[in-house]
Every structure is written in C-alpha cells, then in structure tokens.
Structure 1
Amino acid sequence: MSSSVPYEEIRKRSGTFTQPLAVWAVAFACVISFMGIGLVDPILPAIAKKMQATPSQVSLLFTSYNLVTGVAMLITGFVSSRLGTKWTLIAGIFLIIVFAGLAGGSDTINAIVWLRGGWGLGNSLFLATALSAIVGLSASGTAQAIIFYEAALGLGIAVGPLLGGELGSISWRWPFFGVSTLMGVAFLFLLFIMPNVAKPNKPIKLSAPFKALAYPGLLTLGIVAFLYNFGFFTLMAYSPYVMELDERGLGYVFFGWGLLLAITSVFVAPKLQKRFGSVASILVVLSAFAVILLAMGIGAYTPAIVVGCVVLSGMFLGINNTLITTAVMESAPVERSVASAAYSFVRFMGGAVSPWLAGKLAEWFSPRVPFVFGAVMVLLGVLFLAARRSHLSGIDSAISHH
C-alpha cells in the first residue's frame, strides 16, 4: 500500500472507481453479500406455500437476520480491532457460507429462521467492517469511497433477485446454496488478494457504539433510518405476496428496483448533496418514498400498481442510502467503524420488527394496511429529521473536506 507519490496527489487524481486492489477485493465481496439480501425475495411466497406458512411466519427470515445483524453490530468494532480488518471480514464470510448452506438443506420454517440469525451474525461482522475498510483503504476520500460502496450495494441488490428468481424457479433451496457458493468465491478472493490492514493502536471498547449514540447528529440519523426501515422492509418482505408473480417474475421486478437503486445512489445522490445539501435532499426523497408506499396501499389489490411502485421506489431509496451513509460517517467525532456500528444497530432494529409486523397487519386487517403503516413511519422519520436538522448543520462542510 506504500507509494512514493504524496497522498494528497493520489487523492486529486483518483475518481470513484480508481481504487487500490484491496478496495476492489472488499467491494467484490460486498456485491456478493448484498446479493444475499435480495436473493431470497423471489422465493418468499414459494417457501410459504411449500411449508404451509403464513407471510408473517416467513417474514421472520428477515426479522431474525436483521435482529442478530443489528445486535451483533455492537461488537463488530471490539472484534475487528482485535482480529484485524481482513480476518474479521473473512470470519463474517465464513459464517455466511455455513449458515446459508445449512438453511438450504433445512425442512422447517423454524430451522431456516434460526439459521438466518446465524447468517445475520456473519453479515454484521462483514458489513460494518467492509464499509470502514473501503473508506479507510480508498485513495479518493470519504464521499467517493462511500459512493463506491453504495455502487457495490446497488449492484448486489439488483443482481441478487435476478439470480434468486432463476435459481428459485428450480427449487426454493437453490438461492440459499447460491449464496453459500458465491460467498465461498468471495472468501478465497479476500484470503489471497486483500492485504493485512494494520490494527488500530488502541482496541475499541464494547461501550464505544453506545457512547457514539450520545452525539445528537448520529442518534438523529439512526432514528430516521429506524423509522424509514419500516417502509423499506415492508416493501422487501411483504410486497412479493401481493404482486401475484412467480419466482422468475419477482426476480425481474426486484432487479429493476435494484438497478434504479444502484444508478441513483452513484450518479444522482452526489449531485443532489452538492446542490441542495444532505438534509434537504433526504427530506425530499423520503417524502417521495412515503407517497409511493401510500400508493401501494391504495393499489394493493392491483398487482400492476404494486409492481410499478416497487421499481420506482428504487430511485429514491438509492439516493437516500448514499446520502444518509455519507452523513453518518461525518456525524460524530468517532472512528468510522464505530459510527457505522452504532447507526446500524439502531436502524436494523426497525428492520427486525417491520417484516413480521407487515405480515401480521395484513392478517389482522387487509393487504393495504402494511403499506399505509410503512408510509406513516417513513413520514415520522421525515418529521423527526426536520425537527432535529440543526444537529446536522455542519455535515455538508465536513463531507466536502473529506
């Protein structure tokens, strides 16, 4: 990683996609990891049918995954500062390989739910460390590195459902085996290509993420993400049941969604941030997402409306993901891995409750209610951010300096 060229000179001539090999290695693993999120989407109705389970029972696949991911985020800094970045990433990937493979071989919904929790543990070790690794190893500054990370996220989320739909049309088990196999490739990639990154001089304490949440800017962004995740995971976990499509059809819908998410996160979000500022842009795109969820609620009995809204929402979620992740990295004077872990803990709690609740609201009331409830929660996030925007007044200047 050493070079005779001054660091500032490297930064000046580096673009978003001009990155060291180590960054590309982590990004490749990120693409495959994020494919794992969307890979199961097209097979949710198939799992429900095969195992005679309700949507709320099957949605526990997301709940266990997000709950364990969120809680385990609190220990990622503690672990990675002792194991080192490379070996934390590899340990996380190894857990995903094992638990995804075991989930594919399971015969009961409860077994898959528990195994998805183990998958979430691996996911937390990988994701929190991957973001800080890309930002830390990048030669192009924080904002460009996060765009690069979001590009990997978008590509993975776009390709995941497409592959999941194709594999799922063979059997609901194949997407799980697909994740396990692809993560095996990522495991080898990181093992042999990624260099060892120096451990921090001072190991991170277990209390660090909790202390980080004392900073009002970081706490504000965490709570906003907690609230908008009710809308995000209602869309991810519940909308497949009302689109009336087979596995392949659902794969194509979520591919379109992920493609828009990838494009806007890389090319549109930075322009909006520079032109209007982070907070103003987040307020607008989350308001638009709430309107889309409301339209999905109104049109819940018309599959074409739901399909169109799902694809369109990718545009706004892509912008929001980049804006909010970039803001998090500059919202508190703590290490980036700690800021990421603290923020992720709060937001994943929303992702843990919302998939199960969406299924239950549909069972208790009607298919319209989960989407309307999601829209209300996203709007609460908008109001909360508007009320506390003063805590984020210095975010844009901090981003421009990094």
Structure 2
Amino acid sequence: MSGRAWGVLFVLCGAIFLEGIDVAMLNVALPSIREDLGMSTGTLQWVMSAYVLGYGGFMLLGGRAADLFGRRRMFLFWLVVFLLFSGLGGFATEGWMLIVARFVTGVAAAFMTPAGLSIITTSFEEGPERNKALLVYSGTAAGGFSVGLVVGGLLAAVDWRWVFFAPVILSFLILVAALALLPGAARPDRDGRPVDVGGAITVTGAILLLVFAVERAPHVAAIRTAGTVAAGLLLVIAFIAVERTSPSPLVRLGIFRNAALVRSNIAGLLFAAGFFGFQFIVVLYLQELRDWSTLQTSFALMVIGVDAVLSPTLTPRLVERFGNARVIFGGLVLASLAYALFLPVQADWTYAAMFPGLIVLGLAFSLAYGPLTIVATEGMEEEEQGVAGGLLYTSFQFGAALGLSSVAAVDIAATDGSSPAAQLDGYRAALAVPLIAALAATLISVPGLRARATAPEGRPSGGN
C-alpha cells in the first residue's frame, strides 16, 4: 500500500483502538467509581449498559448516515462528540451524569465506527489489499481492548476520572491526524430522494428496546422482559412495512438475500455473545472467588490480546491460502475448544491451568473477527458499505448484550448460597453459555464451506 493509504489506515485504526481502550478501561474502573460516587449495584450496571444501549441502538442508523451524508464528515463530527462527552464523564459528580455521558458516547461510537469501516472498504480495492487493511483494523481493535485492561487498572489506581480524561487526549490526536490525512469527498448525491425518517425511527426504536430488554433481563421479572421484547418486535414489523414502500429505504431489504452477509452477521452475533459472556464470568471468578486485584486480573486476561499481533500477520496469510470461510470456521472451532477447556474450572486453579483456554481464545479471535468483517462487506455496492458495516457492528453489540445477560442470568439461577462452592457452581453453569454460542456459530458457518467449494474455478470465494 502507498504511504497515503497507510496514513488513512493509521487514523481509522486509531479510532477503533480508542473505542476498544475506552470500553476496557471503564470495565476495570467500575469498583472505584461505585465507591467514589456512592452508586448502587443496579445503578452501576447502567454505566456500562448505557454505552451498549447507545452503541447498539444507533449503529444501523449510523451506518446509513455515513452512506447518505458522507463518511469523512460523519467520522469527524462524531469523533468530536465522542471527545466531548468522554471528558464530561470525567467531571461527573452524580451517577446519572455519568450514565448520560456514557449513553451519548455510545451513540457517537455508533456513528463513528461504521463510518470508519466504510472508509476502509471504499478506499482499498476489494481483494488482498482490502483484506489486509481490515485485518490490521480488527487487530488494532483487539489491541485496544487488551491494552485498556491494563491501562485502566493503572489509571483507576491513581483516580478513576483519568479513565475518561485519557480518551480525550487520544481523541484529540486522532482528530488532528484525521483532518490532515483522511481524503476529502463530495457529499453523496441522493438524487433528490428523501431521507427515510420513518425507517430510521422504527429500526432505532426496535433495536433500543431489544437491547434494553436483553440488558435488563437478569434484573427484572420475565413478564417485563417479554413485554419489552414484544414491543421491539412490533417495531421491527413496522420497520419492514416502511422499508417496503419507501422510495429511499434506510436498509434495502434485498440486502438480506446475500447469504454470506446473513451468515456472517448471525455468526458474529453468537461469537460476540460467547466472547463477552466468557470474559465476564472469568473476571467474576478471578476477583470475587480468587480475590485477585484489578491489575492482576488485567494482566491475566491480556494474553487474549495475542490476536492484536496475529490478526495483521498470520491471519492474512491463512485467508490468502484457505479463504475466509475456512479461517472463520477454524476460529469458531478454536473458540469452542477454549470455552470447553475452562468448563472444569476449580477454586484453586493455577494460572498455568487457565492459560491454555485463554491463549486458544486469543487465537480464535484473531481467526474469526477480521474475516467475519471481510465477508460481511464483501461484494456490497459502495453506496451500501456503511449500512453493511452498521449491520455487522449491530450484530456484535447485540450479541455482547445477549451474552452478558445470559451468563448473568444462569450464574444467578445456579448459585445456591454465598459460599465459595456455590459461587463456583454458578460460574461453571454460566460457562456453558459461551460454549453453546460458539458451537452454534460453528454450525452456522458450515454452509459457507460448501459455498466456497462450489465457487466457479478461478474465482475465489470468501463467503462465510
């Protein structure tokens, strides 16, 4: 790639690194925030849930906005919003202030992330060049999360407010680089077609309600969860009705005839559910049962970040040799193995006993995440790259919310008492959830292997 292309990729990788490090640092700083602001456990949960709600709820709208109003324009504007509200979170003196700041920060990420992804998919030629760029991009996202675990622990030890101020500094540096390096582009010509306001309202409302239902499921009565899900599904039906008659639909329904796109989104949802659910339970196991410190837990989980090295180095070679479908399948099989290795966890496990499962999971992430991104956007028209990216990241976020709520619900149901043995029983039961999700994702990826095998000779198929 040219120096200019590397410059563009550098800026976009900086933004996805920022998003990853922001989430990871907050994860490890939550105990300090609760102590300083006097927040209850239920209120503290909303510090994380508000971000997920904003991120997942507005992601699809953010992807379409990038296609309609300009990718560079959307990326820069929402990067500024991200910068401002991350800083405001650091000045919060009440729990509700922090929750509002995190919700708006999540909305900003929902517009910024698909805009950045679509800049990559439209700036780099489809094939090896784009694949390499996307794999570097996905590796950087993983690196941000891994680095954030450690940096968050260090900053929280000084003052939890630095967990919010540090991203402001990084955001400003990325903004300066973006203004200089991202190529300018004329505003897309919509040919006088109106913006699909009805579609935007119904789909955003539907996703917000569904994510909200999943996030709150472990904490409220089942009837309330069912009612929220029903309301979300009604809005989904309304969205489909609007899109069928809209002259300029927010999401062209024909996009779902792309089997590879549908498979990659479902597999991505299940993969994210397993990955985030597993990490949640492991953190509880290390900190609540084993009484490890925040920093010890951060260093223990950092091995999963091996994918930050493997994604841009090993994975491109494997994709070039075997194709995306086989690499994704291999990654999902390894994820299943990683979760299975952790099922017999004991109260006195050494780190050496935990290490095989954690390192295999890092390898699995490096094989699955980047190629899923490639398949979800491969072959899409340029004017739909943003919405394709939005669909994928919506799947990832909804999967993360589903995985977290599912493992929490199983853990609560299976924990009979407060003794260490009861806690361990709850963790073991909850660890079955990531395994089931990974196995389901593996099965869903199998048709992609057949699609690749039957592709016309001389035409490589990256279908998932």
Question: Shorter-chain TM-score: what band?
Answer: 0.7 to 0.9
> What code does the residue aligned with 1:379 have?
L
Whole-Å separation in 2 of the counterparts to 1:246 and 1:307:
18
- Does residue 324 (structure 1) correspond to residue 324 (structure 2)? The answer is no
Whole-Å separation in 1 of the counterparts to 2:159 and 2:118:
36
- Does residue 96 (structure 1) correspond to residue 82 (structure 2)? The answer is yes
> What code does the residue aligned with 1:22 have?
V
> What code does the residue aligned with 1:227 have?
L
Pick aligned residue for 1:32 from 8, 11, 18: 18
2:315 corresponds to = 269
Cα contact 2:274–2:434 (8 A) shared by 1:
yes
Query: Structure 1, residues 36-80: CA drift from partner, whole Å, max 9, x if none?
Result: 2322233245456665655x8755544433333223122124322
> What code does the residue aligned with 2:186 have?
A
Query: Structure 1, residues 370-395: CA drift from partner, whole Å, max 9, x if none?
Result: 22111111111111222565556659
- SS of 1:242's partner is helix
1:6 corresponds to = none
> What code does the residue aligned with 1:43 have?
A
Query: Structure 1, residues 214-262: CA drift from partner, whole Å, max 9, x if none?
Result: 422211111111111111111343422222332322332343322x111
1:158 corresponds to = 146
Distance 1:186 1:156, change over 3 A: same
Distance 1:59 1:297, change over 3 A: farther
Distance 1:242 1:352, change over 3 A: same
Once the two structures are superposed, the pairs formed by residues 213-224 of structure 1 within 5 Å of their partners are: 213-224=256-267
Higher RCO, Cα 8 Å, sep 6+: 1
- Does residue 256 (structure 1) correspond to residue 303 (structure 2)? The answer is yes
2:404 corresponds to = 355
Pick aligned residue for 2:389 from 316, 322, 340: 340
Query: Structure 1, residues 108-152: CA drift from partner, whole Å, max 9, x if none?
Result: 656544433222111111110111112323477321221232243
> What code does the residue aligned with 1:149 have?
Y
Whole-Å separation in 2 of the counterparts to 1:354 and 1:269:
26
Pick aligned residue for 1:118 from 104, 110, 124: 104
Whole-Å separation in 2 of the counterparts to 1:72 and 1:398:
34
Once the two structures are superposed, the pairs formed by residues 26-65 of structure 1 within 5 Å of their partners are: 26-47=12-33, 51=38, 53-54=40-41, 58=44, 60-65=46-51
Cα contact 1:165–1:250 (8 A) shared by 2:
no
Whole-Å separation in 2 of the counterparts to 1:198 and 1:27:
23
> What code does the residue aligned with 1:376 have?
I
Distance 1:209 1:59, change over 3 A: farther
1:169 corresponds to = 157
Normalised by the length of structure 2, the TM-score is: 0.73
1:21 corresponds to = 7
Whole-Å separation in 2 of the counterparts to 1:198 and 1:398:
33
> What code does the residue aligned with 1:371 have?
L
Cα contact 1:218–1:331 (8 A) shared by 2:
no
> What is the RMSD of the two structures over their aligned residues, measured on CA atoms?
3.1
Pick aligned residue for 2:444 from 380, 384, 398: 384
Cα contact 1:60–1:113 (8 A) shared by 2:
yes
Cα contact 1:34–1:160 (8 A) shared by 2:
yes
Whole-Å separation in 2 of the counterparts to 1:200 and 1:380:
39
Cα contact 2:272–2:400 (8 A) shared by 1:
yes
Distance 1:71 1:385, change over 3 A: same
Moved more, 179-188 or 120-129: 179-188
Normalised by the length of structure 1, the TM-score is: 0.83
Q: Which runs of 5+ in 2 are unaligned?
A: 196-247, 415-425
Whole-Å separation in 2 of the counterparts to 1:303 and 1:362:
22
Query: Structure 1, residues 191-226: CA drift from partner, whole Å, max 9, x if none?
Result: 344332233334785522654234222111111111
Q: Which has the larger radius of gyration?
A: 2
Cα contact 1:327–1:399 (8 A) shared by 2:
no
Structure 1 residue 320, shift from structure 2 partner: 0.9
Instruction: Tell me the matched-pair count.
Output: 384
Once the two structures are superposed, the pairs formed by residues 176-215 of structure 1 within 5 Å of their partners are: 176-202=164-190, 205-208=248-251, 210-215=253-258
1:127 corresponds to = 113
Whole-Å separation in 2 of the counterparts to 1:372 and 1:110:
35
- Does residue 374 (structure 1) correspond to residue 434 (structure 2)? The answer is yes
Moved more, 128-137 or 329-338: 329-338
